[in-house]
Amino acid sequence: MSEPVLVVGPGAVGLALAAGLRRAGLPVAILGRDAASERRLARSGFAATDTAGRRELVSGLTSARALKAPVRAAFFCVKSGDARRAAAAARRRIGAQTPVVALQNGIGHEKVFRAAFGPRRTVIGVCYFAADRAVPGELKLNGGEDVLLARRKGNEGALEAAKTLLTDAGFRVHVKDSEESMLWTKAAFNAAVNPLGAACAVESGRLEADPALRELALAALGEATAAAAASGHRLDYPDMADKLMLSCRNAPRQRNSMLQDLAAGRRTEVGAILGPLLDAARRRKVPAPTLTTLAAVIARLERSLAR
């Protein structure tokens, strides 16, 4: 058997990746936050249901803690704030030539991975597909199949290896020449959807269908776009609003990652997503009342988790 592909972080994105890799016949090892749940997942697998309602059992996973040799490639699908911890936990399972692919929301984690593994074998990417893990052992795929990977000087070999694996796993891969634009574009989209959907506890489709929520989502997107532009961060798409509404229509039943976190009693990525945008708005004196209010609401909801 060939070396397994390592998936660090068996949340919704990590499990969607694992399901695709296993469907392609590739061996997959899972590295979770704690040993017991990791071994349980490796032993029992999980069920994945696609947009047509087809349900399949994903099995044949390996616990990363049982590995004795370096993996073929490592995909990090953890929260942005967990990047440093995850990199340290995975280090001994990653060889000197192993491609390392980071698929996170937010801005700032890219520096962590390059510092940990070097720029040559590090690839930063973002996901544009919808996946929900409402309960342990069950994954719901709600639409989309796009993964964006950034090209940087020297990482061409790792990039090609990552692209091949993701394509084999059934994802549509796009290579971007500007990592910065890719990350700021995704942050702007997330800023418009995640905190609003989480604060109102609604699925993404409601943000497009409900006139009041649509107005708020577009206001948040406009503020995020203006803050990025004022700070010199070019975004990838001129029609950001149209693409945002289309994404909500295409995955109407998706609970965004921030809503999933709050529902499970976890802290969110609000700092990694909204923090850079609000900092940019303050520095450039760009009004951002919607983003400021949403950040405050999510912070208050997070504080309630500790009570």
Q: State the CATH number of the domain containing residue 137.
A: 3.40.50.720
26 and 158 fall within a common domain = yes
Answer yes or no: do 186 and 171 share one domain.
Answer: no
pTM: 0.96
Contacts of 150 (CB under 8 A, 6+ apart): 123, 124, 125, 175, 176, 177, 178, 179, 182, 183
Task: State mean pLDDT over 1-21.
Answer: 94
Looking at the fold, whether 150 and 35 belong to one and the same domain comes out as: yes
Other CB atoms within 10 Å distance of the CB of residue 161: 18
Q: How many domains does the chain have?
A: 2
State yes or no: pLDDT of 5 exceeds 80. Answer: yes
Tokens of 58: 């994903």
The reply to whether 130 and 235 lie within a common domain is no
- DSSP strand pairing (28-31 vs 100-103): unpaired
| pLDDT tens string 92-114 | 999 999 999 999 999 999 999 99
Q: Among residues 158, 177, 196, which one ends one of the domains?
A: 177
Residues 39 and 156 in one domain: yes
Q: State which residues form the domain around 280.
A: 181-305
Q: Looking at the structure, tell me whether residues 190 and 298 fall in a common domain.
A: yes
CA distance readout (Å), 209 to 167, 190, 202? 33, 18, 11
Question: Rounded to an integer, what distance in angstroms lies between the CA atom of residue 83 and that of residue 104?
Answer: 9
Q: Which of 1-10, 158-167, 229-238 has the lowest mean pLDDT?
A: 1-10
Whether the pLDDT of residue 161 is over 80: the answer is: yes
pLDDT at 307: 64
Percent over 70 (pLDDT), the chain:
99
Q: Look at residue 136 and tell me whether its pLDDT is greater than 90.
A: no
| 204 and 112 housed in the same domain | no
Same domain, 130 and 14: yes
> Do 165 and 186 lie in a common domain?
no
Confidence of residue 2 (pLDDT cuts 50, 70, 90): confident
The chain-wide mean pLDDT, for the chain, equals 96
Same domain, 25 and 173: yes
Residue range 258-291, pLDDT digits in tens:
999 999 999 999 999 999 999 999 999 999 999 9
Q: Tokens 């996170």 correspond to what residue?
A: 104
Please indicate, yes or no, whether residues 167 and 202 belong to a single structural domain of this protein: no
- In percent, the amount of the chain with pLDDT more than 90 equals 96
Confidence of residue 305 (pLDDT cuts 50, 70, 90): confident
CB distance 130 to 143 below 8 Å: yes
CATH of the domain at 283: 1.10.1040.10
